[in-house]
Amino acid sequence: MTPTNRDIAEFYRLALQYSDSNRRLVQLTDVTAWVDGLIASSDIAYEWMIDISFAQSTEDMLRGLCHVPGMTTNYLGASIFASYLRKLWLSGAIQRDEICRLLWNIRDEIRPEHDIPAIVPEVTLEDVEASSVGGVRDPKNFTPVNDAIDAFFSLYDEFSLMIPPISGVS
């Protein structure tokens, strides 16, 4: 399966949308480099390409990405994004609390069958013993959070080759 321009735009939209003041998941220059490559290989520079190429703010870039024509492949942009988060997680570039927050934020973007109920922002207790010590009554059997993250990410390994080039990420 080859991602369409619309799928790659969806990946970049998610990465920009879920970046925050502490961490930029992608840089605007990454998106610009992608679209400039499209312009260079195209006979015509379409208006949406120019809008993205000249975007100076995250808001302008997000607006431009919404105008990339074509159909998205069901869940492909979000799957590529999840695979990218996996890469950050495995490299140690992103910590557990942040990955839990990001996964919680994208829960409506991913395939419904890939639900990750163990990943909620409030998770601090990893097992039954810790929850008992913490005074939680009738604790459920908690899956250790790191195991839940790894199990979730294993579903997205196949999308790793679809991640577009991102500056500062090997």
Q: How many C-beta neighbours within 10 Å does residue 47 have?
A: 10
In a domain, 28, yes or no: no
What domain range includes position 162? 73-169
Q: How many structural domains are present in the chain?
A: 1
HSE-CB for 41 with a 13 A CA cutoff: 7
pTM score, two decimals?
Answer: 0.83
Compare 79 and 170 and report the one with higher pLDDT.
79
In a domain, 129, yes or no: yes
Note the pLDDT of residue 170: 46
For 13-64, how does the pLDDT look when each residue is reduced to its tens digit (9 = 90+)? 999 999 987 888 999 999 999 999 999 999 999 999 999 999 999 999 999 9
Note the pLDDT of residue 168: 66
pLDDT at residue 117 is higher than 70: no
Phi, psi for 167 (deg, rounded to 5) = -65, 140
d(CA 90, CA 27): 20
pLDDT at residue 5 is higher than 90: yes
Q: Report the share of the chain in percent with pLDDT over 70.
A: 81
In a domain, 3, yes or no: no
Region 54-78: mean pLDDT is: 94
Residue type, 168: G
Which has the minimum average pLDDT: 34-43, 129-138, 143-152? Answer: 129-138
